[in-house]
Amino acid sequence: MAKTKLEYIWLDGYKPTQNMRSKTKVVEDFNGTLEECPMWSFDGSSTRQAMGDNSDCLLKPVAIYPDPARRDAFLVMTEVLNSDGTPHVSNGRATIDDDDNDFWFGFEQEYFIMDKKTQLPLGFPIGGYPAPQGMYYCSVGGRNTHGRNLVEEHADLCIDAGLNFEGINQEVASGQWEFQLFAKGAKKAGDEIWVARYLLDRLTEKYGYYIEYHPKPLGDTDWNGSGMHANFSNEVLRTCGSRETYEKICEAFRPVVKEHIEVYGEFNDQRLTGKHETASIDDFSYGISDRGASIRIPIITVEKNWKGWLEDRRPASNADPYKVAGRIVKTVKSANIH
């Protein structure tokens, strides 16, 4: 009988930043469908999701992708459930109100590639700094470009896994990169970001690197931080043709700034300073083609007669895309525009 490896991936209970965990189940005569993936369990007392005297938590498969780096293998994204089958308190995916996939999300995931030996971003010398920002963004050549081999291999893995992977580019700081993913459906978008992060983190194991998702890993310096910009739309935003409607939806975000910031990533106050292409964490603003605003209205949306999407530029690189999407969906729906 043929055997297949299923890599079950889940999010642990660490606060405020959850970590990925995974383990492998070997099954027989598997045809590659989500319906064939059985429920599984794990020791929640080892992941801050249960007490030792009642430690079993359940893993509910929610998405499946081919694993391009392993033979006869699949990646299985899961939700964590309590032993009675209810969603665990750490389960952000279960809070998303988008069962009809009306909401589409495009996430821009920024990150730093760190050298395990030096504990510094690629391109940073020990005890000093490389040349200032300016020449790293979308650069070409060994003087300013660091980590391309890993980034290119990660892109291939994501595409081979069937993720809707849309692009890569080096970012503003040395050793900083970005990838983009798009999905029709808020839950699906979250699934794909987490699986892409999993593939990226696993890939670093053979390079002697690790990925830093901290939104401001270089501290209070003149180096950009990392975000996870959230581009989003629903049927209204895609079809309304109305500036007034767009502004009403943007205004729905103003009274719930605190609620958004709470799920937009740990240490985000260090990044949202009003500098380095960010809005201040204490302000709320929106504007056309404004990368210093909380929410940017893309110029393409305006040129298409106010039919398109919005970009929330506040989520940090370490934010949970499930929680980000869930909060955005809730706020947009609160505008009550149909």
Q: What are 123-168's pLDDT values in tens digits? A: 999 988 999 999 999 999 999 999 999 999 999 999 999 999 999 9
pLDDT band at 282 (very low <50, low <70, confident <90, very high): confident
pLDDT at residue 260, rounded to an integer: 97
- The average pLDDT across 226-255 equals 98
Domain map (residue ranges) of the chain: 3-91, 104-334
pLDDT at residue 255, rounded to an integer: 97
pLDDT at residue 84, rounded to an integer: 93
CA-CA distance, 121 to 124, in Å (whole number)? 6
What does pLDDT average to over the chain? Answer: 96
CB 335 within 8 A of CB 249: yes
CB 5 within 8 A of CB 74: yes
Domain at 104-334, CATH class: alpha beta
User: What tokens does 54 get?
Assistant: 């009642």
- The average pLDDT across 70-96 equals 97
pLDDT at residue 183, rounded to an integer: 98
CA-CA distance, 314 to 309, in Å (whole number)? 16
CB contact burial 83-111 (16+ within 10 A = b; e otherwise): eeeeebebbbbbebebeeebbbbbbbbbb
CB 295 within 8 A of CB 227: no
pLDDT at residue 319, rounded to an integer: 98
Residue 238 above 80 pLDDT?
Answer: yes
pLDDT at residue 117, rounded to an integer: 96
pLDDT tens digits along 168-197:
999 999 999 999 999 999 999 999 999 999
- The average pLDDT across 101-127 equals 97
pLDDT band at 326 (very low <50, low <70, confident <90, very high): very high
pLDDT tens digits along 188-237:
999 999 999 999 999 999 999 999 999 999 988 889 999 999 999 999 99
pLDDT at residue 78, rounded to an integer: 98
pLDDT band at 58 (very low <50, low <70, confident <90, very high): very high
One-letter identity of residue 183 = A
Q: Minimum mean pLDDT among 98-107, 213-222, 270-279, 305-314: which range?
A: 270-279
pLDDT tens digits along 13-38:
999 999 999 999 999 999 999 999 99
pTM: 0.96
270 CB burial (10 A radius; 0-12, 13-18, 19+): middle
What is the DSSP secondary structure assignment for residue 266, as one 8-state letter? T
DSSP-H helix ranges across 186-228: 186-204
Specify the CATH architecture of the domain 3-91: Roll (3.10)
pLDDT band at 62 (very low <50, low <70, confident <90, very high): very high
- Cross-strand partners of 170: 177
